[in-house]
Structure 1
């Protein structure tokens, strides 16, 4: 497949927006339904939605997206669900990085298009795990690919929660190829690792990048199922844990773990680096950072 791929780009961007709408509705539903347990008497929060714009060197239209952030709720202390569709020409540093990754034609043609959804949730209750999810499509004149996944980041770990999260991912991947789940799980274990701490960021999940089998429809269908797996993998964990009492030691453990999360996102995360290097709205790119964190 070659050319501008206008129809495929439109379908991918529309899907990411649809998934965003479903997740926003589900998370606001969790706020509304929290009727017992810690913080259940607080007001239910709602997402604040802001349009974002990508800046270009010549002032031309370079795309943008929606940044949706909910703060200070009954269940969510801070959660962001962003969608974007950006395009134009990569700057020299980003172009060189893409060329170094072996993207065909990037040495001579810096044009690109990218769309995706990115989500990070930081919870009020330390028993509720933080979570990250993203899926995306990237296009250049010489190539296209999909990427993304989701991973669970509890500060207080429960083996049954980890098992449920992974089993749901596997159930959504197996119809495509039973070899996918173990491969993408291993990729997540490698990618979401914090070398300077000699430990994983959380309890893992699935991750892929540069997905191009030559069959765009098949790769898009896989990307959609990675997105569809998110709510059934995560929402039951929140519903189960949000009613548990916590103490000061639990909250302290949560803040320390958030420091680890912030370190990873600022030092290693490829999406953070790409977003800042290509001129996307910095607040949207750094939406993943927790509202409060602690270092010992």
Structure 2
């Protein structure tokens, strides 16, 4: 989950991380601000159609917004040539992708329910950042779905600095940082449809090189091997474009991260997970959790992160639609609630994103990734030879899916 950074979970910008000129930064910042404000206005109208109280029609408002965006694009184009990665670019990408994912997921749900829109500010000072929390509840396909963006700027607390240093990051308490993240958690209604979790994030600390993280994984209640294979093959095809060893290492990192030691089982059938990613190597030395010896290549890694994020819906919705109409009864529902209990156990006990968010984060946005209903029963063991037992066997002994 790390999220709002509850999934994995979500910082003052430092100019030495980027080779762009002053005009490049300002051009892209102008475009970013107009695009984000246009998106926020449109999303609010979708959630609250009565907002148009100033006499403007929706068409007029959209036209006005479109003209503003076009002007910003033209101004940015005049000052930007072959731009390098910027924090502003990443922020705009997160907000725009969140919007398109919510639209696509709501359409797939088919209930007519829409994702709500809750834009919040981090603290009293606007410069500390903001978040956009969007939630759909009570749908046909999606019993609960959350898509969260968080943009955070601040100073590292001692606890955060210590945790990051333990993972090989030489950072100090009090250093300025920027963190941007998009996280998704989809809890389906039908027990035969797996839960889907995914995120992308970027983190940079003043005086150090920024790094990316993210991933996508499935948590089924009932195992369909063809779904696991197609899901893993989807992300392997993306990873293989950037490094021949990236998928295997991201898959292994996913299995290792989403593990519940107290239960001696993994949370689901996995996917990919990467963190501290700065560059790619074309040999087997590349790791999914940093450790590359080459010079950082932010543009290349962002291209990979962008491909992963744009694959979230194509990797999940087809398999969800295949299983959403399978008949089920109370026994399957109770098993689903028990498995959701395991999901919540991991989030609360082990997820780094939750721990990060709880250190001064917004509790509603952190806990929004929790399942809508869960159950715990004492010493539950599935019937030998049952489909439930088949799943537990896989969770205790992860396997290759490609």
TM over 0.5: yes
User: Out of 301, 317, 325, which is 1:219 matched to?
Assistant: 301
Aligned length: 282
Matched, 1:262 2:348: no
The answer for the alignment partner of 2:196 in structure 1 is 131
| Separation in structure 1 between the aligned mates of residue 277 and residue 191 of structure 2, nearest angstrom | 35
1:119 corresponds to: 184
Q: How many Å separate the matches in 1 of 2:99 and 2:189?
A: 22
Residue equivalent to 1:35: none
**1:246 maps to which of 316, 328, 342:** 328
C-alpha contact 1:262 1:290 (8 A) present in aligned 2: yes
Bigger-Rg structure (1/2): 2
Structure 1 residues 18-70: Cα deviation after superposition (integer angstroms, max 9, x where no partner): 221221111111122xxxxxxxxxx43111110123237xx563111100000
- CA drift at 1:108: 5.8
Structure-2-length-normalised TM-score: 0.67
Aligned positions of 1:180-199 closer than 5 A = 180-199=246-265
Distance in 2 (alpha carbons) for counterparts of 1:202 and 1:242? 19
Residue equivalent to 1:25? 103
* Distance in 2 (alpha carbons) for counterparts of 1:139 and 1:216: 11
1:291 and 2:372 aligned = yes
User: Whose strand proportion is higher, 1 or 2?
Assistant: 1
What is the alpha-carbon root mean square deviation over aligned residues? 1.7
Map 1:13-92 → 2, pairs under 5 A: 13-32=91-110, 43-55=111-123, 59=125, 61-92=127-158
In the alignment, structure 2 segments of 5+ residues that lack a partner are 1-13, 19-24, 26-84, 280-295, 378-402
CA distance in 2, matches of 1:225, 1:69: 24
Structure 2 equivalent of residue 3 of structure 1: 16
- The Cα of 1:4 is off from its aligned counterpart by 5.4
CA contact (8 A) 2:194 2:219 kept: yes
Question: What secondary structure sits across from 1:44 in the alignment?
Answer: coil
Q: Distance in 2 between matches of 1:98 and 1:60?
A: 26
Which residue of 255, 271, 274 maps to 1:208?
A: 274
The answer to whether the 8 A contact 1:135-1:149 is kept is yes
Which consecutive segments of 4 or more residues in structure 1 shift more than 3 A?
Answer: 4-7
